[in-house]
Structure 1
């Protein structure tokens, strides 16, 4: 995954409002498009049936492990409820400070993919495994171990704020998508074995966590990876378009036809500045200029 470099260093006072705007639109969009519950449940069951047909049903054994083993389930709930909102911003800040040439492309890829995920939530509201009827065999570990953390029984939202989150935003899994983005950034720019181990371990851990906590299906995770791939392809032309727009509004005065010297100044051919001759001036011309000044 080759990310283009940019010569201009980004400025925090332009980046911060942009990121806040995109994340605000994403969060508001999730609330607006909550979707019909019956439709979301049917989509969830359809995914589950497809996985069973393809022998891909990894959610049930993982969920049983997390449910019956608190030493695994409780840390997994903490990871699900926190890392998504800590690691991604931390890597964005790290890129901004240490890799400014690659930051803008990396940020554009993340934002484009996030908006694509919102489109998925809009047109394919999906009930996560934990909200399916109990007959389907899933346990909501976030609710089971809720007394150990700050979250309530509704997703990873703090207690009392569950109504402010879209419970049916399961397809695609942006937990997995954002974790993949973090892994790519660590692999490409982290340097050293520890960074590369983390680059592989973090996305894989998040994938197991979202399934074991019954927040996502395996195909949600696959869709999250696919969304990041499409986002990478679309982000490049979008960044080029943004660069052209930015160049148009920040063009140098000389590019718009404005004079670069004050009125009344004249230059002869070959003079970059008024009164400055080039090395091509002949000795005779230099003598004429000196005599003229003496008079």
Structure 2
């Protein structure tokens, strides 16, 4: 006999407010403002786009013989590998770059000869533009998950995703690991609906407005403040690979979130009631059947772990040029590292947008992405070819430069 997952209690009356109803341009404007601000604060102050062309490449004041003075470290810089800018092959304007791909040496065109092209100089002035480009590509991949999943499952996708959602509920409540989920999603939402709807209003608006602007803001902030570009690149690659793992799951395992299950399962769509909409959560290319894993929590988990790393409390040694944080700033980073993922976890469950299992799988996916993030280094030859076709040279990252100029006290 199949377990009974339906509920009989009557849902409380609506008192909470849904997400803010912003105009269609409001949310993109928030994200654009964050990105443009990041471009401004991470720009190179002593580099002129239309100034006198110089034969020498731009050198950061942070550069030395052990750090990158080349544009070849977008994904990673390691002074022991073939991307070493002191290597004649890597720095010559004529000789090709020597890359490692799948255990083989690959030679690609050297784009440094295009360093004086105007679009190369714009990138050199605003190196954060490269980060913006790659995140736009990632977002476009997400928008395609609905189309691909629809092609695979056709008309049955709704029924398939509903069965997957119910399977998740059944596993949580009656499976061998049910002890990991002492509270049901329904009980959490019902608690907020019964006498705590002001708090639910806050969570409704947090769900809609924090996820994408918050993650983009984190990327911008960490690009500015990270102790080194390799450290920032590791976090960025981890987030990107977490995305791609999740995208594959969305496509091959469509999972209906609790809010879309039939009414007898007792969930209410608190975020979108009264026809409230968000440009990030509506439209033909938004995948509403993508509960597993939760990217809201996946991003928050990576951000939380990064805060703990940045606090330095678990590291015996600091990176070169990094200053030990004060006790106050350590506490601040630790509180954010715990509080932000915790708040997101409560939000996604209380608003019936995700199951507990979605958050657990997001942690597993993020950890796996961290362990495998170096896989993106195999794409360096493709990046070289793309830049060659665009006749552009990759900029030297300005990660942490202006922050260190201020003393690096936090």
TM-score tier (shorter): 0.7 to 0.9
Query: What is the CA-CA distance between 1:6 and the residue it aligns to?
Result: 7.4
Moved more, 95-104 or 41-50: 95-104
Contact 2:207 2:271 in 1 (8 A): no
The equivalent of 1:194 in structure 2 is: 332
**Deviation for aligned residue 1:25:** 1.4
Structure 2, gaps ≥5 residues long: 1-65, 75-126, 312-324, 388-410
Number of residues of Structure 1 aligned to a counterpart in Structure 2: 237
Q: Does 1:58 align with 2:184?
A: yes
Q: Distance in 2 between matches of 1:26 and 1:71?
A: 33
Supply the distance in 2 between the matched residues of 1:27 and 1:6 (Cα, whole angstroms): 37
1:204 paired residue among 342, 348, 354 = 342
Report the CA distance between 1:221 and its aligned residue.
0.7
SS in 2 for 1:127: coil
Q: Which residue of 1 aligns with 2:320?
A: none
Q: Decide which of 299, 304, 311 is 1:178's aligned counterpart.
A: 299
* In structure 1, distance between residues paired with 2:372 and 2:285: 30
Q: Does 1:216 align with 2:354?
A: yes
CA deviation map 1:113-151 (0-9, x unaligned):
10000011011101111111111111111134x47xxx3
Specify the alignment match of 2:130 in structure 1: 14
Residue 293 of structure 1 corresponds to none
Higher relative contact order (CA 8 A, sep 6+): 2
Alignment-derived partner of residue 97 in structure 1: 224
Following TM superposition, by how much is the alpha carbon of 1:91 offset from its aligned partner in structure 2, in angstroms? Answer: 1.3
Deviations 1:7-38 (A, max 9, x none): 46753232221221122112222444255000
Q: 1:49 to 1:94 in 2, by over 3 A?
A: same
Where does residue 241 of structure 2 map in the other structure? 112
- Going from structure 1 to structure 2, the CA distance change for 1:51 and 1:244 (only over 3 Å counts) comes to same
Q: 1:84 aligns with which of 203, 211, 214?
A: 211
CA distance in 1: counterparts of 2:212 and 2:333, whole angstroms: 19
Contact 1:121 1:171 survives alignment (8 Å) = yes
1:74 to 194, 201, 212: 201
Greater share of helix residues, 1 or 2?
A: 1
Mapped to 1, the partners of 2:294 and 2:261 lie a distance apart of 17
What is aligned with 2:286? 165
- TM-score scaled by length of structure 2: 0.53
How high is the TM-score relative to the length of structure 1?
0.72
Structure 1 runs of 4+ with >6 Å offset: 244-250
- Coordinate RMSD, CA, aligned: 2.6
141, 145, 162: which one pairs with 1:29?
Answer: 145
Q: Aligned partners of 1:231, 1:30: CA distance in 2, in Å?
A: 22
C-alpha distance in 1 between matches for 2:241 and 2:382: 18
Tell me which residue corresponds to 1:234.
372
Structure having the higher Rg? 1
Structure 1 stretches lacking a partner, 5+ long:
251-295
Check whether the contact 1:65–1:73 (CA below 8 A) recurs between aligned residues.
no
1:130 maps to which residue? 259
